[in-house]
Amino acid sequence: MANQAWDAPWKIQNELKRWLVYPWVRVLFAANRIPWHSGWRFYGIPIIQKHRRSWMSFGPGLGLRSSARSNPLAPNHPVILCTWQAGSYLEVGSNFAMTGGTLCAFERITIGDNVAVGANTSILDTDFHPIVREERRDQPAGGQTAPVVIGHDVFVGMNCLILKGVTIGDGSVVGAGSVVTKDVPPGVIVAGNPARIVQEL
């Protein structure tokens, strides 16, 4: 412990801050009626935007980094967890880790176990706004929606965008800066905008 404090003092600071925010995060999750599980770790306080008639659940081992000092990739905002409307569903498995990103479900986002999401990535199941200009005037928040499914053991790099209707198969990797608009099969690496398969694992 002494060597760690000498060689990497910021890690000790992060752990101390983690314990300081713990009671506040417990209250935040309880106020939003989100079931609490074991092994959760929070570096900074996430933002929760939960519709009262929606559902959020997270498995054991959840780790969220919302503080800019908690990671050398410097999250540019706290982790945002959002279920936008009545009936929205956000279900995340065990050992999920995310740094300064966004999970926003209008309809449904389902994430498996052992998924890691790099800094400042957004996972959205909606376009938010319609593409057709007349529709935007009449219904500004009436964008198309489709569920997002992310399998087990997936790694998503930093600064990615995963859009509506996408399924990412077990064990796949999404390269940093990618925009995922189509399904990703299991066991591959995808990268680019739009993301394409660059390697099989």
Smallest Cα–Cα separation from 160: which of 189, 128, 129? Answer: 189
Whether residue 120 contacts residue 160, with contact meaning beta carbons closer than 8 Å, is answered with no
* Number of helical H runs and strand E runs in the chain: 3, 19
- Tell me the C-alpha distance between 122 and 118, whole Å: 10
Per-residue buried b or exposed e for 57-78, using 16+ beta carbons within 10 Å of the residue's own CB:
ebbebbbbbbbbebbebebeeb
Q: Which residues are catalytic?
A: 129
- 8-state DSSP, 106: S
